[in-house]
Amino acid sequence: MLPLVGVPPTIAAGMKKYREVFCRDEGFDHVSRYVSGLVLCEKKTLQGIYAQQVWPEGEEVSRRAMHAGVFEAGWSSAELMRTHRAVVAADHRGRGREVISLDWTQAHHERGPQIYGVKEAFDYVNRCQSLFQTVVTAVVSNRELVDGLAVEVQQPDYAEAEMEYLVMTGQESYTQMEEVLKRIVELLAYQRNRQAYRKRTEMGVEIVRQIEDEGHFPEANYAFDNGVLTLELTRMIEERGKHWVSEIECSRHINWMGQWRRVDEVGAELRANHPESFRHLKVKGRNGQEREYRAFTKVVRLKRYGRKRLVIVHEQADLSDAPRFLLSDVLHWESGRVIETWNYRWPAEIFHEFSKQVTGFESAQVRKEEAVKRHFRLSCVAQSLVQRAACSGGKSERFEFADEKATVGQKAYTIAREALAGVLQFAQGLFSQGRTCDQVLQVLMPA
């Protein structure tokens, strides 16, 4: 466990861009230390981060004060994300193709049923019942960077259980005014919860509206899968002069030769009777590597969506693999460009994995709604700061595999070296005052 003396220079320099979001210098220092802990601490909860903090003598801060500065002070996490989008936008301009991907993930909290947004439901990843939050995200990426733009927690839907309760407790008549008032309160609570609940697709539309209203990413198109695809979302993107690429489910109906047919049936028929219609393509991925595809493309009509470009994609030369069905609003795009844009949907998964493994996305132990949102959004900021760290460790045997490519491990290693340098400088100052080793150890790691 590495003691943390202050904030590493890389984190401190990155956090200066967010200073105007926070009210007081003390609160800003607490948040900066918390972000440092999300990167460096093994236990990425406030308790774990605070336990590794070392304060100058006479300036000690209680854990309660740090908790208040991070989770209860008057700063706005929504304003933090607006500032974050403006900050990262500068690093994306002039760096080639950039695409915004919309997605959602599950933040697991097996021991936290009281945490805001946590609900027991079927986990489609682990294929079992578990406790998790549903988090909708927007991620912008180019060939070099992957940055989170929005992180929103979905409020669980308890409509079925609430309605069951209302049905079971309902009475034909009420004789006491107190019972009537109680029933009215229950009905109003049910109605309030229904109005407050938002589907993932509705949250995605609101995220896109915020991003486009701010206008920081004028050249970025959108990529998402069928779990986010809605008519309202596509219309909003098109009205803003942007384009989109989405995967569609195999059961989607298209107008084929004057008949409405399932798209997977059309794909199977083409594969069986006209395999030559699948052109051989080489498409560059986000990392610059080429991959080979076999693709069929045609402008088709869909119910409600109108005329769109359909691309049926196979990765095997013999067309033996399950096809992927892609849809785009751009009728003149070739299949290669549609596939290339779709490949930028996957950085959302990189962002989820990065945030969960490196910056403590799933580690929050706070319960209230605003505190949960602050943790997620600070984790998002920490992820961007790590990406922009300089690389060291090139001479270390542990990074020989990197082959001169900057890795996340090397960047985190750089920040850890900065933190260790701070500890050594702090200890050097204590030794210069005539302190013994035991006394210095007591300051750094109290018994």
pLDDT in tens, 150-181: 999 998 888 888 898 898 988 888 888 988 89
pLDDT (mean) for 37-48 = 92
Q: What is the pTM of this model?
A: 0.89
Provide the 3-class DSSP secondary structure of residue 390: coil
Residue 400 has pLDDT above 90, yes or no: no
pLDDT (mean) for 80-84 = 96
Residues 6+ apart with CB under 8 A from 215: none
Q: What are the residue ranges spanned by the domains of the chain?
A: 4-75+389-444, 78-157+197-220+348-380, 242-342
CA angle 373, 376, 379 (to 5 degrees): 145
Residue 296 has pLDDT above 60, yes or no: yes
What does the pLDDT read at residue 158? 82
Residue 303 has pLDDT above 70, yes or no: yes
What does the pLDDT read at residue 445? 84
Residue 51 has pLDDT above 80, yes or no: yes
CA distances from 334 to 311, 327, 416 (A): 9, 12, 46
pLDDT band of 398, cuts 50, 70, 90: low
pLDDT band of 307, cuts 50, 70, 90: very high
| Residue in the block written with tokens 């892609």 | 326
Residue 314 has pLDDT above 80, yes or no: yes
What does the pLDDT read at residue 372? 93
Residue 116 has pLDDT above 70, yes or no: yes
Residue 54 has pLDDT above 60, yes or no: yes
Q: How many whole angstroms separate alpha carbon 15 and alpha carbon 212?
A: 25
pLDDT band of 394, cuts 50, 70, 90: low
| Residue pair 431/27 in contact by the 8 Å Cβ criterion | no
Residue 110 has pLDDT above 70, yes or no: yes
| Residue pair 415/10 in contact by the 8 Å Cβ criterion | yes
What does the pLDDT read at residue 59? 83
3-state helix, strand, coil in the chain (%, to 5): 45, 20, 35
pLDDT band of 73, cuts 50, 70, 90: very high
CA distances from 279 to 85, 212, 274, 276, 334 (A): 39, 36, 11, 7, 11
What does the pLDDT read at residue 391? 79
What does the pLDDT read at residue 397? 54
What does the pLDDT read at residue 342? 95
Nearest to 37 by CA among 365, 379, 369, 354: 379
194-230 pLDDT, tens digit per residue, is 888 889 999 999 999 999 999 999 999 999 999 999 9
241-263 pLDDT, tens digit per residue, is 999 999 999 999 999 999 999 99
What does the pLDDT read at residue 214? 95
Residue 273 has pLDDT above 60, yes or no: yes
Average pLDDT, the chain: 91
What does the pLDDT read at residue 156? 84
Residue 404 has pLDDT above 70, yes or no: no
pLDDT band of 420, cuts 50, 70, 90: very high
Q: How many whole angstroms separate alpha carbon 18 and alpha carbon 149?
A: 15
